[in-house]
């Protein structure tokens, strides 16, 4: 697989001086960073963004709050790692953030090294998430090559059923099932059953 593009860290804070300071801090250690002052701007960017990314969200902002923004990102299928940085953090907000999948919740004024450590964890997760998405996309393209009957057989194969069991369920001969299984393996470019399961379920390393 080709080398990934660099991870972009999106900063969302309604205070321009805070955003500028965070971008400067990240860029000082060679981390790509972009700042937005409103959650709506980030959502528009993410709608067409095709590279690994993570986000640092302020908790309280005019318009969409940080928690609401994270929920909107989840609703649109965006899976980038998120951490919160807020002067208004409290226990309920932190709990809600973690329940929504945030990886960290830091309070202002922040310790620069602690912030960088948290961002670096998010960057590592962002790379893993992006790689997973690429694998899933590649697998989905391969799955479109299967015929409808092959897709039926595949579902039963993934349940661990034998050719005889599948033949009985689908009303075809075991030999025909074996032909379909061979075609599935060839079209998905795998040679073993474990490889097939891992590829379709997205577990391929």
Decide if pLDDT at 151 tops 80: yes
Asked whether residue 34 falls in the same domain as residue 125, the answer is yes
Is residue 79 in some structural domain?
Answer: yes
Is residue 104 in some structural domain?
Answer: yes
DSSP 8-state symbol, 189? T
Domain boundary among 113, 133, 153: 133
Asked whether residue 156 falls in the same domain as residue 125, the answer is no
Is residue 167 in some structural domain?
Answer: yes
Asked whether residue 29 falls in the same domain as residue 119, the answer is yes
Mean pLDDT (the chain) is 89
Is residue 108 in some structural domain?
Answer: yes
Q: Read off the pLDDT of residues 83-136 as tens digits, 9 standing for 90 and up.
A: 998 876 677 777 888 888 899 988 888 889 999 999 999 999 999 999 988 888
Asked whether residue 173 falls in the same domain as residue 108, the answer is no
Q: Read off the pLDDT of residues 11-38 as tens digits, 9 standing for 90 and up.
A: 998 888 889 999 999 999 999 999 998 8
Asked whether residue 32 falls in the same domain as residue 127, the answer is yes
Residue-level pLDDT at 8: 96
| Cα 32 to Cα 198: distance, rounded to the nearest angstrom | 33
Among candidate residues 51, 66, 67, 64, the one with its CA nearest the CA of residue 9:
51
Is residue 139 in some structural domain?
Answer: no
User: Residue 143: which H helix or E strand, with range?
Assistant: helix 112-143
Asked whether residue 98 falls in the same domain as residue 153, the answer is no
Asked whether residue 114 falls in the same domain as residue 14, the answer is yes
Is residue 1 in some structural domain?
Answer: no
- Which of 1-10, 31-40, 45-54, 115-124 is predicted least confidently? 1-10
Give me the CATH number covering residue 171: 1.10.10.10
DSSP 8-state symbol, 144? T
Decide if pLDDT at 179 tops 90: yes
Asked whether residue 118 falls in the same domain as residue 159, the answer is no
Asked whether residue 94 falls in the same domain as residue 163, the answer is no
| Cα 31 to Cα 11: distance, rounded to the nearest angstrom | 12
Residue-level pLDDT at 202: 67
Decide if pLDDT at 4 tops 80: no
Domain boundary among 133, 157, 183: 133
Confidence of residue 1 (pLDDT cuts 50, 70, 90): very low
Confidence of residue 205 (pLDDT cuts 50, 70, 90): very low
Determine the distance from the C-alpha atom of residue 70 to the mean position of all C-alpha atoms in its chain, rounded to a whole number. 13
Asked whether residue 192 falls in the same domain as residue 156, the answer is yes
Domain of residue 181, residue span = 145-201
Asked whether residue 61 falls in the same domain as residue 158, the answer is no
Asked whether residue 157 falls in the same domain as residue 190, the answer is yes
Q: Which phi and psi (to 5°) does residue 81 adopt?
A: -65, 145
Residue-level pLDDT at 89: 62
Confidence of residue 2 (pLDDT cuts 50, 70, 90): low
Give me the CATH number covering residue 30: 3.40.50.2300
């Amino acid at each position: 697989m080709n080398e990934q593009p660099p991870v972009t860290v999106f900063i969302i804070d309604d205070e321009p001086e805070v955003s500028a300071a965070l971008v400067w801090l990240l860029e000082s250690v060679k981390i790509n960073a972009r700042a937005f002052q409103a959650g709506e701007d980030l959502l528009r960017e993410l709608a067409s963004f095709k590279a690994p990314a993570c986000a640092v969200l302020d908790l309280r902002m005019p318009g969409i709050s940080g928690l609401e923004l994270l929920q909107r990102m989840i609703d649109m299928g965006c899976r980038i790692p998120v951490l919160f940085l807020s002067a208004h953090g409290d226990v309920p907000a932190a709990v809600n953030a973690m329940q929504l999948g945030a990886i960290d919740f830091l309070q202002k004024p922040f310790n620069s090294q602690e912030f960088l450590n948290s961002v670096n964890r998010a960057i590592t997760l962002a790379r893993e998430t992006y790689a997973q998405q690429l694998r899933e996309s590649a697998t989905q393209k391969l799955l479109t090559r299967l015929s409808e009957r092959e897709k039926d057989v595949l579902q039963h194969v993934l349940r661990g059923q034998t050719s005889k069991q599948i033949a009985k369920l689908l009303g075809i001969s075991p030999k025909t099932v074996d032909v379909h299984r061979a075609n599935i393996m060839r079209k998905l470019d795998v040679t073993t059953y474990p490889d097939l399961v891992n590829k379709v379920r997205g577990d391929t390393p």
